Amino acid sequence: MTPSQADAIASAVMHPDHRRDEIAARQQEEMQQLQRQRRAAAIGLVGMAAGGLIAYQLGLPWVKGVLYGGVPTFCIAKVWLDRRALRG
């Protein structure tokens, strides 16, 4: 390796370019989106448990209670978290 090649590699490593910043920003956004999805799923699980418990107390099939409690809760949580992220 010549000294000019070593200098070129060293400057490329030491001075980040715009592509590296764009990739980091995209990865950060993807990580935040995944975190919002996980939160919505956790809230949906709580809704499923509550729906199953309510269905059990009312004498209804627990599967319907789990679905009626979990799906709307997840959707509402997903929309709420996404809108909150858009506002900043």
Range of the domain at 8: 3-87
Answer yes or no: is pLDDT of 83 > 90: yes
Question: Taking the complete model, does pTM exceed 0.75, yes or no?
Answer: no
Q: DSSP states of 29-51 as a string?
A: HHHHHHHHHHHHHHHHHHHHHHH
How many CB atoms lie under 10 A from the CB of residue 55?
19
Q: Write the CB contacts of 82 (distance below 8 Å, at least 6 apart in sequence).
A: 36
Number of domains in the chain: 1
Phi, psi of 73 (to 5 degrees): -65, -45
Q: Which two tokens stand for residue 37?
A: 């999805």
Model pLDDT for residues 9-29, shown as the tens digit of each residue: 887 777 767 787 888 899 999
Model pLDDT for residues 69-82, shown as the tens digit of each residue: 999 999 999 999 99
Q: Write the CB contacts of 43 (distance below 8 Å, at least 6 apart in sequence).
A: 73, 74, 77
